[in-house]
Each structure stands twice: as C-alpha cells, then as structure tokens.
Structure 1
C-alpha cells in the first residue's frame, strides 16, 4: 500500500536508495509524458509497478544489512510530503499547466492544446483545488494588450483562456469586423477567405496574432463597452464562436491566474 501512495519513496523505506533514484526519475518523466499526451497511463503503470517491485525486494531482504537514515517509514513519508508541497508551491506561485477546453481561441489555440501559465506577480495563489489567497494582480505592468491569459470566469469560477484587449479605463467598440480601442481601430490584414470563414492578422499593442471570423455569422457580438478600474476585457480569437467579455463582462483583477508563456504542440 505504501508503494501505491508514495510510489518511488517506498524504496527508501526498504533501504534501496539507488532504485529510489531511478523510480523518481521515471515518475518525473511519467508526469511529463502524461501531461504531453494527456493519457495518464504512465503514472498508472508506475503505481502498479512500484509496490510489486518493492514486494519482490522485501521477500529477499537481508535483515542483517545496515539501514540508512532514510529507511524509516516516517522519513519516506516526510520526504514525499515535502516533494508534494514543493510541487504545489511551484504550481501556485510560479508556473502551472492547463489544457485548452474549447475552440474559442482558434486559430491560435486548438481544443486540447496544453499550455503553461506564468503566475508570478498575478496574485492568484491557488492550484489543485486549494486556494491560498487571491489579492489580485500585484503588478499591473504585466497586463499587456494583445497577450493571452488564463483567468477564472466571473460567475462559473472555472478557468478560461482568452486574449486581453481592454485595460482598465478603456472604451472598446465591436462591429462585425472591426475592434476600436479608445476610438482607434485595431489594424487588421486579411490572410485567407472562403465560403465559411475569414482569417485575419490583427495587431493590438505590440502583438500581432491571427483571428477568425465566420463568413456569415448568425449573431455577431457587437456593442460598446467601458472597462472599469481593476478589471480587464478578454476576447477569443475565434470571434464569432467565443463566449467572452462581450457576453458576460470584464474580469476582475482577483480572477487573473496568469499569462500563457508556452504552448505545447
């Protein structure tokens, strides 16, 4: 049972530090592989293999050997808890992986894409269902128009990924094909158009990116919005198929999780 719960740390308890090091490396590789392929098979395999291997070694255990300082159940468990807390702290304060849930950010992000979010300075200290506090964005200079961020939906409290178009105090106007920020239209350049869609390159601030419009949108989201202080306005790149701030309003600073810094293809 200890092998199932703490996986490679069981080998410290049975006085096999080298085998522990091998399994720990395998466990870290399994975590990375399961995140990349989103299958979960590698960790499942380790959770079965570790206790079976430990059981096989215990049957051949030499009780006369000198046990290391680490070969105590409470040491193995304590080291495991230290690792878990380190991972939790890393995900809460520095970087955290997410999976893109929908096609609302097409063509930039596809549903199922894995992304890594930088959280330092955004004041949302939570991960794995545990919340250590959300004082809000501690450095507003990190909020750049045109960049992509992950945040909590104002009402549903689930993570969304969208592009930041409106900063506090901005006035945004959306027409069927144009976005005006404080009276200035964002520059766009047509890339491709067919019977179903139009792909364009849009520039906001210092960032250029691709957006998608449907050739014949059913109900395009248009209107004029003023962003209150302490809040931000997010929009999906798939402009005619995105639930975003045009529908449910701006996002409070306390709900900003972090900036997308890495997309894993």
Structure 2
C-alpha cells in the first residue's frame, strides 16, 4: 500500500507560507484592473473599499462629464498596492483569490455585467444639443430604459440584429432615444406620430389625425414664446422663436412600423420633419430619468 509522501506536503505548505505577490504584476494590475489588484495581493477588504470608490468614480465622471476620478484611481491603486507589498507578511494564509488570473477573470466578469446592463436594461446618455430645449438642455445627463425596445447595443457594440420595438412601449408625448435613420448616431426627441398617423405642422400648431394638440401660452418676449403642449396623456413645454427664419411646416403620414419624432425647440430642431420617421428597429429606449 502506497503511503503519502510527508515531504511533498511539507514543501507545499512551506511554499504557501512563503508566497508573496510580485510588485511588477501588481503595478500592471493596478493600472489595468484597478481595485482588483488588491485581491491579488491578498487584501479583500481593501478591494471592497476600492471597488466602491471605483463605482463612485464612474458615476462622478458621468455626472460631471470628466475622466479625472477614474484617472486618479489608475494612479492610486498601483501605488497603494506597491506600498502594501513592501510590508507584506509572508506568514499569512493566501486566499484562493490571490492569483493574478483571478483578478483578471473577476474584472472581466464585472465589465461584462456592466455591458449587459447598459445594453439590455438602462443606459446613460448626454444630451448633445439644444433641440429639446426647454425640456432638456445641451449637456444634460439622461438615463434610458431599453428593455422591450428594438436596438440592443452599448459603447458602439451591437448585440445581434436589431429587433422590432414592442408597440406597447411607444406612447405619444414621451421622450425617446433612437438612431438617426441616416447618420446612425443617437438622437433624443419627443414622440408625436405613431404608425398610421397623419400629422400637419403649421407655424404654431400641430394637428394629429385632424385634431390640434392643446397648447397654452406660458411666456413670450421679443425673441421667443414658451408654451405648454399636450400630446396623449403628457403635457410638456415647447419653444417657438418669435420670428423663425424657416419654420418646418407640412403634412406627413407615418408608415407602419415607423415613428415620428420632433424636438421641443420647434424652430431649432433637426427631426422627423426634415429627415423622415424612424424605423422601429432603431428605437433605443425611453428617457426615464433626467439627472439634474
């Protein structure tokens, strides 16, 4: 009967007891995967603290549209890890997570989870222009609900062929993000026309299937007029220039499977009045939160 080799067990225990993280690996991980470097150097509690800081940095960078907080972490994490390695106690028990490849795998899992969340559930956007003024200003941050809509993608990566948006998700008067029919870039506008609708635009009035949308004047000066317009069950503010240079007027019929979007800044908005309705497959989602 074969007996276990006590020498092998002793050598294995000795190796585990004398292991210490390598500084150069920690420096690389600290820059690339940031908080996950602290798993490699056997500091799970510090990892938890830095993970919360990293998530907060992502939120702060989005809110203030800067990248300083994430950049600061990419410097702080490797330096702190290097400082801890210089004081590493080789007698401590090495956790299962204290491997460089574990840090990489867990980091990739987090990245994939965030990507899936942004692609299928909710995704933040920044309003690029004043075409939705006074409702949305250029630079405003918005959150878009994507579940049930036709276009699933994030960070420039498409997940398969775009599907058809559930018509039950589309409500007249609500604000949506969609891809421009020709430019393939995200736009944010208000939905006024559903499939089969006939829309007529005059200088100050919108008629949907022969019925004028209710409007109420809020304020007027020499340059602009602000009004409250109601479409469906939604009331919102719109803006007209007192003397528009070239008002977008005309009559439009919305084809099946397409939607007609208009900006609230009626005399300064590039929208479906200029380049036509938007296909169901190009609807990204509904704006559910404006971050002040």
TM-score by length of 2: 0.89
Q: Quick one: which of 78, 92, 103 aligns to 2:119?
A: 92
Q: Do 1:169 and 1:228's aligned partners in 2 also have CA atoms closer than 8 Å?
A: yes
Structure 1 gaps of 5+ residues are none
SS state at 2:135 partner: coil
SS at match of 1:238: coil
Q: Give the distance between the partners of 1:205 and 1:133, measured in 2 at CA.
A: 33
**Secondary structure at 2:33 match in 1:** helix
Q: How big is each residue's C-alpha offset from its partner over 1:110-140, in whole Å with a ceiling of 9 and x where there is no partner?
A: 0000000000000211001110024334421
Partner Cα distance (1:107, 1:134) in 2: 35
* 1:134 counterpart residue number: 161
Q: Distance in 1 between matches of 2:220 and 2:199?
A: 26
Q: Is the 8 A contact 2:165 2:283 kept in 1?
A: no
Q: CA deviation at 1:73?
A: 1.0
Q: How many pairs align?
A: 265
Once the two structures are TM-superposed, the CA of residue 41 in structure 1 deviates from its matched residue by 1.1
| Residue 134 to residue 124, structure 1, CA distance change in 2 (3 Å) | farther
**Do the aligned residues in 2 keep the contact of 1:113 with 1:264 (CA within 8 Å)?**
yes
The answer (yes or no) to whether the contact 2:144–2:289 under 8 Å persists in 1 is yes
1:80 equivalent in structure 2: 107
CA displacement 1:47-99 (0-9 Å, x = unmatched):
11001101111122222321101011111111000000000000000000000
Query: Does the 8 Å contact 1:96/1:119 carry over to 2?
Result: yes
The answer for the alignment partner of 1:227 in structure 2 is 254
Which whole-Å CA distance do the structure 2 matches of 1:134 and 1:88 have between them? Answer: 17
Structure whose alpha-carbon radius of gyration is higher = 2
Distance in 1 of aligned mates of 2:86 and 2:102 = 22
In the alignment, is the contact (CA less than 8 A) between 1:134 and 1:255 conserved in 2? no
Does the CA-based 8 Å contact 1:124-1:133 persist in structure 2?
Answer: no
Please say if residues 176 and 221 of structure 1, whose CA atoms lie closer than 8 Å, have aligned partners that are also in contact. yes
Moved over 4 A (4+): none
> Is contact 1:136–1:256 with CA below 8 Å preserved after alignment?
no
1: CA distance between counterparts of 2:221 and 2:242? 8
Cα 1:251/1:138, change in 2 over 3 Å: closer
**Gaps (5+ residues) in structure 2?**
1-27
Deviations 1:163-204 (A, max 9, x none): 000000100000000000011000000000010000000000
CA distance in 1 between partners of 2:163 and 2:213 (Å): 28
Q: Verify: 1:102 aligned to 2:123, yes or no.
A: no
